[in-house]
Amino acid sequence: MALKLVPDMETWHADGKDLMHVRIYAVDKKGRRVLNVKDAKAFDKLTFQVKGDANIVAVDNGNIASDELHIGKTQLEKSIQRNLFQGSALVILRASDKPGKIELSVAGEKMKAKKLVLNTK
């Protein structure tokens, strides 16, 4: 089982307002999404970390029964945790006003960390 990170766009604006949505999926060896509730690995707690001039605005997984917070202790975070639900989750990042490279790292308890490098302009 592995993680797949899918951003909603290639680049984003370094204006302090622009948001980037990144979907996270649990996938099998062939790259197919894993949705099976019986497979506990698909429901690992994920740790999201961002390096560079961006912050985590919110995380979600679509589980309406979850009591996990969508945001961290402060409004903008560099690191936060969230469980996968039906093999997926979403993280929303906000760019700062400085252009550059942003690195998003997502790791599960039993899954190898996956990194995504994004550019702000």
Q: The whole model's pTM is what?
A: 0.87
Distance CA 55, CA 81 (A): 14
Q: Which CATH superfamily is domain 2-116 in?
A: Immunoglobulins (2.60.40.10)
- Give the per-residue pLDDT at 3: 92
Residue 76 pLDDT exceeds 80: no
pLDDT value, residue 39: 55
Instruction: Tell me: pLDDT of 36 over 70.
Output: no
Does residue 79 register a pLDDT over 70? yes
- When computed from its CA atoms, the radius of gyration of the chain, rounded to whole angstroms, is 14
Distance CA 44, CA 14 (A): 32
- pLDDT tens per residue, range 11-35: 899 999 999 999 999 898 899 998 8
Q: Which of 88, 77, 82 is nearest to 46 (CA)?
A: 82
Q: What is the pLDDT of residue 96?
A: 92
